[in-house]
Amino acid sequence: MTKFLNKKSCFIGKNVKIGKNVVIYENNHIEGSCQIGDNVTLLPGNFIVDSNICDDTILHASVIEKSEIKSGAFIGPYARIRPGSVIEKECKVGNYVEIKNSNIGANSKISHLAYVGDSDIGENCNIGCGVIFANYNGKEKNRCKVGNHVFIGSNSNIIAPVIIEDDSYICAGTTVTNKVNSGDFVIGRARQENKENKANKYW
């Protein structure tokens, strides 16, 4: 049985299939060929089109288009999953994250303020705040591949096409342009330089 908290505020298209024990909060819009699995919770404000939302997932105030969200994933608030994406089991895609035409492996976390475009991310990865997968060079789109158990620190730029192998660690603020081998520790940023008593020229 589906439980609506405010059915009048929701739109459910005629081709939408909803499983058992689904809870739908106010202001949800679901259209096209959608499958909502069992034990799904749709918190307020989702817009879902032509997508498969598997069992035991939680979505909050997010846009899901022509994609698949596997069981146990948590999406939102304010995430956008663009067409061609697959979010695997137990993933977290959080605040203001955009995923485009990408595969995110099981148990990986992209918690806030990141863009992943045209990429394949492995299992048990952590993508930090402000990470950008730069998939477009002005003429063509390119793809990135990230292995399993990879840490990518905040404000890193991953310039496609590039491969980052298993168990590697990318330090915050690094720009990655070359292949990263398994187990590598990668840092690519300018060393901090303090100039004493020079700040007053800017005040």
Say how far apart CA 114 and CA 172 lie, in whole Å. Answer: 13
Say how far apart CA 194 and CA 12 lie, in whole Å. Answer: 58
Residue type, 6: N
The answer to whether the bond into 44 is cis (omega within 30° of 0) is no
Q: Which of 29, 60, 112, 149 is catalytic?
A: 112
Tokens of 172: 């915050």
Phi–psi pair at 68, nearest 5 degrees: -130, 130
Of 186, 156, 144, which is closest to residue 168 (Cα–Cα)?
Answer: 186
Active site residue 149: no
The answer to whether 144 and 127 have CB atoms below 8 angstroms apart is: no
Of 14, 21, 22, which is closest to residue 43 (Cα–Cα)?
Answer: 22
Say how far apart CA 134 and CA 116 lie, in whole Å. Answer: 8
10 Å CB burial of residue 20 (0-12, 13-18, 19+) is exposed
Active site residues: 112
